[in-house]
Amino acid sequence: MEEHPIVQHIPRLRRYARALAIDRYAADDLVQDTLERAWNKFHLWRPGSDLRAWLFSIMHNLFVNQIRSRRHQLEQATDDPPAVPVRGTQSDAIEIADLDRALGRLTVEHREVLLLVAVEQMSYSEVSLTLDIPMGTVMSRLARARERLRAMLDGSVAVVPLKVVK
């Protein structure tokens, strides 16, 4: 029996959800909801288009909806192990923990773009399609995310969260 094409993308969905949601249990729920929605709506996917981008779009939309329904930002770092593989030394583990904590302090918009480009290695156009934002917005969010992350890791700037104005 042949494997469904969605199955090969589950590890990437889990990794992205974990980095997005920070909390392991919320990430697992997000992946489950994404897979359920993708399975039920698979007839809407256009063969020949990028299945990975379609799945990540579903996850993004679900995540945004969850944030709106909870009425608060998910900016708390957890005591769970970081979403990034850890090398053997203690200083490496500390650096990874610092990176994980700094990622958690980025706004959701900045974290999404940074993770899709840096971790999932999506192109700017793929990220633009996935998040349904202009490519210029992808580039500016990525630049700001990298700048804020660098400043947090260097300890050179106190981080003040930006307000989202609608």
pLDDT single digits (tens) 24-60: 888 899 999 999 999 999 888 888 888 898 999 999 8
User: What local confidence, expressed as pLDDT, does residue 13 receive?
Assistant: 92
In a domain, 95, yes or no: yes
98's tokens: 């610092």
Instruction: Output b/e per residue, 71-99; b: 16+ Cβ within 10 A.
Output: eeebeeeeeeebbbeeeeeeeeeebbbeb
Among 30-34, 63-67, 77-81, 125-129, which range has the highest average pLDDT?
30-34
CATH number at residue 47: 1.20.140.160
Q: Is residue 92 part of a domain?
A: yes
The verdict on residue 65 lying in a domain is yes
Confidence tier at 104 by pLDDT (50, 70, 90): confident
Confidence class of residue 134 from pLDDT cuts 50, 70 and 90?
very high
Highest mean pLDDT of the ranges 97-106, 118-127, 136-145: 136-145
Query: In this structure, is residue 46 part of a structural domain?
Result: yes
Within a domain: 72 = yes
Comparing 160 with 108, the larger pLDDT belongs to 108
Token pair recorded at residue 68:
């709106």
Residue in 23, 37, 20 with CA at minimum distance from that of residue 78:
23
The end-to-end CA distance of the chain, in Å, is 49
pLDDT at res. 74 = 38
Name the nearest CA neighbour of 83 among 138, 143, 13. Answer: 13
107 CB-side CA count, 13 A: 13
Q: What is the mean pLDDT of residues 116-145?
A: 88
- Specify if 67 maps to a domain: yes
| 3-class secondary structure, 85 | coil
Distance CA 20, CA 14 (A): 10
Number of structural domains the chain divides into: 1
Whether 12 has a pLDDT exceeding 80, the answer reads yes
- Is 73's pLDDT higher than 50? no
Boundaries of domain holding 131: 7-78+87-154
Residue 162 maps to a domain: no
161 within a domain of the structure (yes/no): no
Greater pLDDT, 95 or 35: 35
Mean of per-residue pLDDT scores for the chain: 79
